Amino acid sequence: DTGVSQNPRHKITKRGQNVTFRCDPISEHNRLYWYRQTLGQGPEFLTYFQNEAQLEKSRLLSDRFSAERPKGSFSTLEIQRTEQGDSAMYLCASTDPKDYGYTFGSGTRLTVV
C-alpha cells in the first residue's frame, strides 16, 4: 500500500458544472476524512466516515456537496453547480486505528472559472 491516493490531481471546471473527486485510503484505515484548504490557510474539516457510515458533516459542507463511501473503501466527494468560491485544494486523509495518526493524500486542486 502506497498511502492515500487522490484523483484527479487537478481539475479546472466552468462555474455551474458538477465535479467528482475520488480518494483511496490506506486499506487498513477504517476512518476517512475530507478537508478543504484555501491559499494561506490550514485545512478545514468537511466530513468523515467510519467504514461506510458518514458520521459528521461540517457546516462548510453546503447542500451542493455530497460525499459517499459505499463499501467502506474508497470515497467520492461531489460538488454540484460549482461556484468560484469552491476553488480550493481538497484533501483526503485516513487514520491509523493504532495511534490515530493522520495520513493525507496529495490533494485535488479545483479551479472554478
Partner 1 sequence: KQEVTQIPAALSVPEGENLVLNCSFTDSAIYNLQWFRQDPGKGLTSLLLIQSSQREQTSGRLNASLDKSSGRSTLYIAASQPGDSATYLCAVRTGANNLFFGTGTRLTVIP
Which chain residues interact with partner 1 by CB under 8 A? 6, 31, 33, 35, 40-45, 48, 50, 55-56, 89, 91, 93, 99-107, 109
What are the residues facing 5 on neighbouring strands? 24
Distance CA 51, CA 60 (A): 22
Compute the least distance from the CB of residue 1 to partner 1, in Å. 15
For partner 1, which is the closer residue by CB, 19 or 91?
A: 91
For partner 1, which is the closer residue by CB, 74 or 80?
A: 74
For residues 113 and 16, is the Cβ–Cβ distance under 8 A? no
Distance CA 108, CA 54 (A): 21
Compute the least distance from the CB of residue 57 to partner 1, in Å. 10
